[in-house]
C-alpha cells in the first residue's frame, strides 16, 4: 500500500486528491473497527495517517512551486 514520494510527485493534483479521499475513507473504516474492538491490522491506522500527511505535504509543495 505504501506510496513512495517519487510516485506521489509524478501524480497529477486530481490523482492526489482522489488518493487522499480513498485513504480518508479507509482510515474512517479502520477507526470504526478499532472502536468496536475488532481491527485486524492496527498498524494500518498509523500508516494511513502518515500517507495522508505525505500527500498533503507534496500537494502543497507543488502548489507553492507553481507561484
pTM reported for the whole predicted model: 0.85
Cα–Cα distance, 19 to 25 (Å, whole number): 10
Q: For residue 20, what are the domain limits?
A: 5-65
Count of domains forming the chain: 1
What would the mean pLDDT of 8-23 be, rounded to a whole number?
Answer: 93
Cα–Cα distance, 39 to 62 (Å, whole number): 35
pLDDT tens digits, 26-64 = 999 999 999 999 888 889 999 999 999 999 999 999 888
Cα–Cα distance, 40 to 29 (Å, whole number): 12
Where residue 32 sits, what CATH number does that domain have? 1.10.287.310
Query: Where residue 5 falls among pLDDT bands split at 50, 70, 90?
Result: confident
Amino acid at each position: 500500500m505504501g506510496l513512495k514520494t517519487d510516485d506521489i510527485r509524478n501524480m497529477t493534483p486530481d490523482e492526489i486528491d482522489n488518493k487522499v479521499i480513498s485513504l480518508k475513507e479507509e482510515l474512517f473504516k479502520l477507526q470504526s473497527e478499532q472502536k468496536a474492538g475488532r481491527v485486524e491490522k492496527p498498524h494500518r491506522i498509523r500508516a494511513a495517517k502518515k500517507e495522508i500527511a505525505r500527500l498533503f505535504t507534496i500537494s502543497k509543495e507543488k502548489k507553492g512551486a507553481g507561484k
